[in-house]
Amino acid sequence: MTGDGDDGWTAAVRSRLALGRLLPLGGAHDGAWIAEQAAAAVLRRAADGVSGMALGKLRIALADPGPDTVPQVPPPPSALPPGALRIEAEAEGTTGGESLPAAVDGLRDALFAAAADLLGLAVTEVDVRVTGLLDAPRDPSARVGPDRRSAAVRGPVAEAAAAVPGVAHLTGALGAAVHSGDGHVRVEIAVAPGHRALDVAAAVRAAAARAADGGPSVTVLVTAVELP
């Protein structure tokens, strides 16, 4: 028999696992991370616009899993250290349209562009592996979207973060939307459509630092990017 506490712990674990890896957003000085699930949703939307390819499995990880780069602020629990990233994608070609090599190049370019222009990920490698051929493209509408659960806005730091342009709402995948302690603040957000995730995170860091007492360091975790 389990109690409410066990149910809450189980829900927290499921929520954390659903986020995937916590990827560095920007560099060591940016103090921002993004959930792999959130980043993947943006990349998949970009891939939908590539003729002749149907994106399958997608993985984002450090390009060089060597010595860790030390972040300038405390990272979220189990987050990857700052560093160059690599996208590994599996895709199937679709009949008609461009030649397969041209479609692969188009998919690679689209993933590179979305990672940099829409998110702010420091992606240096995109590896596309063709796993087969399809008679017709898959229906992208059947995909599961990112978790868009919002968290309550309480306190001056939360209010300041929620008011930043580009913040859709605060989230609480790792607990409270604003976690404070030992001279540090972590803020969780969802980014609104049409805004670059790294730019919004930088603005939230600045707003939270101004609103917090005692001049703490600030980390921002993007757990969702809402799509148009």
Question: For the chain, how big is the Rg over CA atoms in Å?
Answer: 19
> Which tens digit of pLDDT belongs to each residue from 18-69?
789 999 999 999 999 999 999 999 999 999 999 889 999 999 999 987 666 7
Mean of the per-residue pLDDT values for the chain?
Answer: 88
Does 193 have pLDDT greater than 80? yes
Q: What CA–CA distance (Å, rounded) separates 44 from 58?
A: 9
Does 102 have pLDDT greater than 60? yes
Confidence grade of residue 97 (pLDDT, cut at 50, 70, 90): low
Confidence grade of residue 214 (pLDDT, cut at 50, 70, 90): very high
> Which tens digit of pLDDT belongs to each residue from 114-123?
999 999 999 9
- Specify the range with the lowest mean pLDDT, choosing from 90-104, 135-149, 172-186, 200-214: 135-149
pLDDT of residue 1: 45
Domains of the chain in start order, with CATH, are: 37-142 (3.30.70.1350)
Report the percentage of the chain scoring pLDDT > 70: 83
Place of tokens 């590994």: 88
Whole-model pTM: value is 0.88
Mean pLDDT of 99-117: 95
Nearest 5 degrees, angle CA 222-CA 225-CA 228?
A: 165
